[in-house]
Amino acid sequence: MTPPDTPEVAGGTAASTAADKVPTAMEDLPPTIHELQDYTEQKLRDYLDSAEPALEGLLESIHYTLFSGGKRIRPIFCFLVGELFNTLREKLTALACSLEMIHTSSLIMDDLPHMDNGTLRRGKRANHLVYGQDVASLASIALLAKAYELVLNDPGLTSEKKSIIVDKLVRTVGMQGMVGGQYADLKLLNDAADLAMLEFIHLHKTASLFIAAGETAAIAGDASDDEIRAIKSYAGHLGFAFQILDDLLDAVGKTCEVNKSLQHDRTNFVTLLGVERSKQLIEEHTGSAVEAIEIFGGRAARLVMLSQLLLRRKS
């Protein structure tokens, strides 16, 4: 199955450095997914550690959403891609946290009344309902700025890689990416609710950050162009499967299970295609994602596992 064209991205891969490779001894077996979540959580806390006392309220608003039980899927994906290229975890830490900050920034903004007007996120009141729209907006922007800052100040990446990676992240957030997808969702969907429009929206709103996570992690790991293409294809299919399942959970889930505001009145894959076809599409995209990484053989086992985990998620 072919995913729609990926959003425009710039730059290429940088040259390899053998010093960045991890040993492959048995005692260095890859950590579990749960451990990657904990690691990400701790590093996010470290990165946000020091703040001007006067800004305590802003920091509290940031913490409120950043540490409210997110699944950390994008950082996990980033680390698993790193494992594929034997990249030291430390070398991907800033990038992984940056991806989670971008994601969190988008959730806070998405919930604002003039956007999706969400009131519940991860079983808690939306950020703006606790801290006000003014503070929530600033928290969203601060997280975005912090995300770029992390990568730009990462001592583990060369200047060339920093600039390639930040360029990709900026484009992923901007008009060619999440902002463009959100605009289409808010302003175009109701007048042109067909499959092509829906695919455009979800490619830009959701899949683009998955693609960026995989691509930037692969670049940091000195992957070849073919390898990067394979990872991007996997990520695009994964992003679509993820979003269609999100729509399915929206359609058939209960608020108490999904833990966020449900969008029953919105056009989505399920309202357009029905429950059965949506389930089929999730399976198809997951299958295509796995196919895309066949070039890595058994080394990609944990990415295959990730796609299966996401297929079975309930929230």
d(CA 211, CA 204): 10
Smallest gap from Cβ 56 to ligand GRG, in A, equals 23
Q: Which is nearer to ligand GRG, 179 or 309 (CB)?
A: 179
62 binds ligand GRG (CB under 6 A): no
Site string for ligand GRG, 209-248 (x = CB under 6 A): ----------------------------------x--x--
Q: Is 34 exposed, middle or buried (0-12, 13-18, 19+ CB in 10 A)?
A: exposed
Would you count residue 273 as binding ligand GRG (CB under 6 A)? no
Degrees to nearest 5, angle at CA 152 with 148 and 154: 115
CA distance 298 to 30: 14
How many residues interact with ligand GRG (rule CB under 6 A)? 21
Question: Based on CB atoms, which residue is closest to ligand GRG, 141 or 295?
Answer: 141
Which of 98-106, 123-131, 213-221, 263-271 is the region at the interface with ligand GRG (rule: CB under 6 A)?
98-106
Does residue number 83 form part of the binding site for ligand GRG (CB under 6 A)?
no
Question: How many Cα atoms within 13 Å fall on the side-chain side of residue 45?
Answer: 8
Site string for ligand GRG, 142-161 (x = CB under 6 A): --x-----------------
Sole window of 30-38, 40-48, 107-115, 210-218 interacting with ligand GRG (rule: CB under 6 A): 107-115
Tell me which stretch binds ligand GRG (CB under 6 A): 8-16, 105-113, 163-171, 285-293.
105-113
Q: What count of Cα atoms within 13 Å lies in the side-chain half-sphere of residue 88?
A: 11
CB atoms closer than 10 angstroms to residue 116: 18
Distance CA 310, CA 72 (A): 12
Helices within 221-268 (DSSP H only): 225-252, 255-258
| 109, 139, 169, 303: which one binds ligand GRG (CB under 6 A) | 109
90, 94, 132, 153, 303 from 156: Cα distances, Å: 8, 9, 37, 9, 24
Q: Which of 96, 139, 178, 251 binds ligand GRG (CB under 6 A)?
A: 178
With binding defined as CB under 6 A, does residue 106 bind ligand GRG?
Answer: yes
Q: Which two tokens stand for residue 302?
A: 């944990």
122 binds ligand GRG (CB under 6 A): yes
Of the candidates 110, 227, 247, 250, which one interacts with ligand GRG according to CB under 6 A?
A: 110
- Asked if 75 and 100 touch (Cβ cutoff 8 Å), the reply is yes
- Interface positions with ligand GRG (CB under 6 A): 70-71, 73, 102, 105-107, 109-110, 115, 122, 140, 144, 173, 178-179, 182, 205-206, 243, 246
